[in-house]
DNA sequence: CGGTGTTGCCAACGCTTGTTGACAAACAAC
DNA sequence: GTTGTTTGTCAACAAGCGTTGGCAACACCG
């Protein structure tokens, strides 16, 4: 019942295959059999190492945004840094599929959605607090930033809207920096948030 | 093989149930059996009226953004009008579930993703052209707007990030109007779009 | 009234899914 | 070298899926 180092290659192969499948197919369409096949392994091995499909998913989606430390960075440069961070993280041949896995799965799988709320709630909020201090506005600012960041991820990597895909990374960064800056440090609306449930 | 008016209530009930299911569960998790059960109808009836699951989906997702006509509206008011339009359209008890259906399904279903590209490409682009004229930038501006609009829909209605859900509609409109305005009429990045595939 | 086509219900098909258990091979420990 | 545990293979299960065809009840048209 305990796993040795001998089976680690198999477990790693399974995990890698699972991440690829969850990223491209989402939770429901990803089958244990297909993951096992991709990993060159018997389906029952997947069960033995990850208990069930939900366990496999949890292991595959254990993710971190790796937001940069912005202490000491001048306030007016932070938004640009943030924009660059996200774009760079998600681009490239060997790109980190984390966001795709998480986003694609979070749409239909409640557990993934919950994790998404946690990840963006805590990690982005933490960064905002580094900038604004612990004001009551922080959560709202973090939410607004998430809105734009996830909007890009959705339209560029998942839906692949042509004009959004066509933007080269530097242009993308340049275009969204002012928006993020506005959400991060700019004035908020006159109306206050009535009730937060 | 032709359907009479007598079966119209049944067909309408099926369609309504399908829209609700596709909206809340996505394409894969929605089963013909559950739709039939919701509609108080036998599963085979669903097949008879919509051929197969794909046909049912196509019928359920035949959607229009109903973007307002902005001819004659002063340029500086258009962004606000647009923000208000989307928010109002997606709020409320008897809200139009169109965006949820489409978004949730487009994540895993290629046909839905294609429709999404068409809807946002053509309809938003059309509106942008009413404002800017037929400049080469129009498609890019439409894409940027889609980015923010869909980002809101995703975080507020699908992922339900708490700080985004907490915003009341008027505040939401107020906050996003300047962003949309920037994308719609503001200057674009210095870098030009290299190649559009 | 009789005939024709539409509607609705029922049972079943073939298939895929997640999951389980049995059993042989490979390894590790003493 | 024997014992015990871990790894891998194979076959099968129960459940759920989309889908199909048959058949009774009904409505309409002559």
In strand D, the nucleotides that come within 7 Å of a protein beta carbon are 5-11, 16-22, 27-28
- What element of type H or E holds B73? none
CA–centroid distance for B40 within its chain: 28
Query: Could you check: is the Cβ of residue B3 within 7 Å of any atom of nucleic acid strand C?
Result: yes
Pinpoint the alpha helices (H) of chain A.
8-29, 32-39, 43-50, 53-60, 75-90, 98-106, 110-119, 125-132, 138-153, 162-166, 169-185
Q: How many residues make up chain B in this entry? A: 197
**pLDDT tens readout for residues A9-62:** 999 999 999 999 999 999 999 999 999 999 999 999 999 999 999 999 999 987
Is the predicted pLDDT of residue A194 greater than 70, yes or no? no
CA of B2: nearest nucleotide by C1' is C6
- Cα separation, B50 vs A31, in Å, equals 27
Strand D footprint at Cβ < 7 Å?
A 1-4, 6-7, 10, 41-45, 48; B 6, 30-34, 43-44, 47, 52-54
In strand C, the nucleotides that come within 7 Å of a protein beta carbon are 5-11, 16-22, 27-28
Question: Which of A80, A155, A157 to probe the B interface (max B CBs under 10 A)?
Answer: A155
CB–CB of B59/B50 below 8 Å?
A: yes
The lowest-confidence range among A84-98, A125-139, B48-62, B173-187 is: A84-98
Residue B64, exposed/middle/buried by CB under 10 A (0-12, 13-18, 19+)? Answer: exposed
What's the average model confidence in pLDDT over A178-187?
A: 94
Is the predicted pLDDT of residue B195 greater than 60, yes or no? no
**Short-list B165, B53, B96, B112, CA closest to A108:** B112
- Predicted confidence at residue B194, as pLDDT, reads 44
- Band (A197; pLDDT cuts 50, 70, 90): very low
3-state secondary structure B18-85: HHHHHHHHHHHHCCHHHHHHHHCCCHHHHHHHHCCHHHHHHHHCCCCCCCCCCCCCCHHHHHHHHHHH
- Cα separation, B2 vs A149, in Å, equals 49
CB–CB of A125/A183 below 8 Å?
A: no
Helix A53-60 with A43-50: angle, nearest 10 deg: 70
In the stretch 94-113 of chain B, residues with CB closer than 8 A to chain A read 103-104, 106-108, 113
Question: Which of B65, B108, B193 to probe the A interface (max A CBs under 10 A)?
Answer: B108
- Predicted confidence at residue A193, as pLDDT, reads 46
- Cα separation, B33 vs B129, in Å, equals 44
Query: Which residues 5-44 of A interface with strand C at a CB distance below 7 A?
Result: 6, 30-34, 43-44
Is the predicted pLDDT of residue A67 greater than 50, yes or no? yes
| Interface contact A175-B189, CB threshold 8 A | yes
- Predicted confidence at residue B167, as pLDDT, reads 95
Indicate the residue of B25, B164, B171 with minimum beta-carbon distance to A147: B164
- Predicted confidence at residue B96, as pLDDT, reads 62
Could you say which DSSP state residue A121 is in? I
Helix B110-118 with B53-60: angle, nearest 10 deg: 20
Domains and CATH numbers, chain B: 8-60 (1.10.10.60), 75-185 (no CATH)
**pLDDT tens readout for residues B90-99:** 886 555 677 8
Number of C-beta neighbours around residue A192 at 10 A:
11
Residue of B nearest to A24 (CA): B108
- Band (B89; pLDDT cuts 50, 70, 90): confident
- Predicted confidence at residue B193, as pLDDT, reads 46
Helix (H), strand (E) counts: chain B: 11, 0
- Predicted confidence at residue B100, as pLDDT, reads 84
């Amino acid at each position: 019942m305990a796993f040795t180092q001998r089976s680690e290659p198999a477990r790693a192969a399974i995990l890698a295959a699972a991440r690829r499948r969850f990223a491209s197919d989402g939770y429901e369409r990803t089958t244990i059999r297909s993951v096992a096949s991709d990993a060159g392994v018997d389906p029952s091995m997947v069960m033995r190492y990850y208990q069930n499909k939900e366990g496999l998913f949890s292991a595959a989606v254990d993710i971190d945004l790796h937001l940069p430390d912005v202490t000491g960075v001048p306030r007016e440069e932070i938004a640009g840094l943030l924009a660059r961070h996200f774009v760079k993280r998600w681009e490239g041949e060997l790109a980190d599929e984390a966001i795709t896995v998480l986003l694609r799965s979070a749409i239909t799988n409640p557990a993934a959605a919950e994790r998404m709320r946690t990840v963006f709630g805590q990690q982005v909020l933490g960064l905002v607090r580094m900038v604004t201090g612990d004001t009551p506005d922080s959560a709202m600012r973090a939410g607004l930033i998430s809105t734009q960041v996830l909007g890009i991820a959705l339209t560029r990597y998942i839906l692949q809207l042509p004009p959004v895909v066509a933007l080269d990374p530097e242009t993308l960064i340049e275009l969204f920096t002012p928006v993020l800056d506005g959400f991060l440090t700019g004035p908020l609306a006159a109306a206050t948030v009535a009730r937060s449930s």
